[in-house]
Amino acid sequence: MINSSVNSDFILVGFSDQPQLERRLFIVVLISYLLTLVGNTIIILISSIDSKLKTPMYFFLTHLSFIDISFTTSIVPQLLWNLKGPAKTITVMGCAVQLYVSLTLGSTECILLAVMAFDRYAAVCKPLHYVAVMNSQLCRALAGISWLSGIGNALIQGTITLWLPRCGHLWLHHFFFEVPSMIKLACVDIHANEVQLFVASLVLLLLPLALILTSYGHIAKAVIRIKSSQAWRRALGTCGSHLMVVSLFYGSITAIYILPNSSYAHTHGKFISLFYTVMTPTLNPLIYTLRNKEVKGALGRLFNRASGACKGSRARGDKILT
């Protein structure tokens, strides 16, 4: 039974109608969360330490890893608590914090993925001018625009959503506070809110996606013009990881925000949201490490440095003992 004794708190129904599934999900979500923390932290560390990774691509990848860690942390601990026991409540303040933080980070990731696609376009199509085009000032500006866009969207959409009258409707049939599911709690006509959400989704989802597709269209034209299998392999190595991340993220989030009233999104909405909030941040570092020779090389150098330091300290210890 769901504890509904505190009337002022929200109740996240989540997967409570499937107790057996809850127990399995708890293990899956916990393992995925730990992998997310470890994988993305490693990417941040090696991008900061290794001099060979001081490039625009890894500058943006560091931001993406930080977003993934923060995004999952804003959702997963509460989800694990709800999956573990019968208590499904969360305070209004907790609701507001989770909504603003997750909305900021999710929106920022949408823009950042488009920025990373532009970086890949410059690397493949403008190789001789890449360093001049993607200078440090431009990289910082593009990262700043991504964050400001995410914060602005969260302040607008989050505030409008929280101010909707709910008339005591506090049972949310979801596992976290997401705008499409929250506006359904309102006891007023929400047509204007649905239009506003759709317009915001066009700007923050479809516009960046269009920019990504345009960038890769130019990349494909440049590679076809060269007519070299080696060029295709280089382009795939340069862009393949980013394309996979974009496909996973946009493929799932579009079903929730662009088609929120479709029968598929309504029936499988919680599982789609679970995929892009929990699984995608776990897969991102795996995709970038398994498919990227530079990251694997940096990891090898990091481990060799660590093992060398251990051997050195052990040798010094042996000398002291003797």
DSSP 164: S
189 phi, psi to nearest 5 deg: -65, 125
- pLDDT at res. 1: 38
Phi-psi region of 213 (alpha: psi -120 to 50; beta: other; left: phi over 0): alpha
Single-letter amino acid, residue 124 = V
Q: How far apart are CA 299 and CA 280, in angstroms?
A: 22
Contact 19, 102 (CB under 8 A): no
Beta bridge partners of 89: 11
Q: Are strands 10-12 and 171-172 parallel, antiparallel or unpaired?
A: parallel
Q: How far apart are CA 60 and CA 45, in angstroms?
A: 14
Neighbours of 182 (CB within 10 A): 22
From first to last of its 322 residues, the chain has per-residue pLDDT tens of: 344 444 468 888 888 777 788 889 999 999 999 999 999 998 898 888 877 788 898 899 999 999 999 999 999 999 998 888 777 888 889 899 999 999 999 999 999 999 999 999 998 888 888 989 999 999 999 999 999 999 999 999 999 998 988 887 788 888 888 888 888 888 888 888 888 888 888 888 889 999 999 999 988 888 887 766 666 776 676 687 888 888 888 888 887 777 655 544 455 678 888 888 899 999 888 887 766 667 767 767 766 766 655 555 555 555 555 5
Q: Where are the domains of the chain?
A: 10-291
- pLDDT at res. 59: 94
Does the domain formed by 10-291 have CATH 1.10.580.10? no
In which element (H, E) is residue 79 found? helix 76-84
**CB neighbour list of residue 10: distance below 8 Å, 6 or more residues apart:** 89, 90, 91, 92, 94, 95, 170, 171, 172, 177
Question: Which pTM was predicted?
Answer: 0.85
Q: How far apart are CA 282 and CA 220, in angstroms?
A: 29
CA gyration radius, the chain: 22
- pLDDT at res. 169: 75
Q: How far apart are CA 215 and CA 161, in angstroms?
A: 34
Q: How far apart are CA 218 and CA 231, in angstroms?
A: 14
Which stretches within the chain are classed as H helix? Answer: 19-49, 56-73, 76-84, 92-125, 130-133, 136-162, 179-182, 191-201, 207-226, 229-257, 263-274, 280-290, 293-321
Token representation of residue 107: 């929106």
DSSP 279: I
Beta bridge partners of 90: 10
Q: Are strands 10-12 and 89-90 parallel, antiparallel or unpaired?
A: antiparallel
